[in-house]
Structure 1
């Protein structure tokens, strides 16, 4: 594999966790910029051009609900997990921990430290 393939593979790996990271921050209502800040502070910075289409897609899939609020100055669209979104977050979290445990075993016991 060429050295220049590494950023592409790392991006693919990261894409797989962006949904889980986003859902994890929407247990309570947040608007887009606030969500981006929370993700960045947690070590998962995300570009607007990635986040907003993701939020729209998750809302279309009925994983999120949203509402416009105008009581705090500029109108802002707040997103929060729907009932289905909470169930999905639980399932994805369980899957994440299972994969994490498996990868930890594979990387530490696979005959190589993976570095």
Structure 2
């Protein structure tokens, strides 16, 4: 299982694909597949079977996962897409912006 530096709730910028340039929040992180689900990015249509809760069935729009290499975290301080450095302070791992050097985790 690969290590991912992006977590749920992080603001990210999409680097490639049909939604290139969009900035949104990560809804779910899937580290075992190296993928993330980003809000309003990679929206696909999904067919729903009729069930007791939804007797009509139909088609709904849902966000599909995208590979973690296609997104970059946006630093809250410098507001730029950046890579992450990890440092240890007081026994805790803290993520830092590579561009401005400020901590991403508070």
Same fold (TM > 0.5): no
- TM value normalised by structure 1: 0.28
- TM value normalised by structure 2: 0.29
More contact order relative to length (CA 8 Å, sep ≥ 6): 1
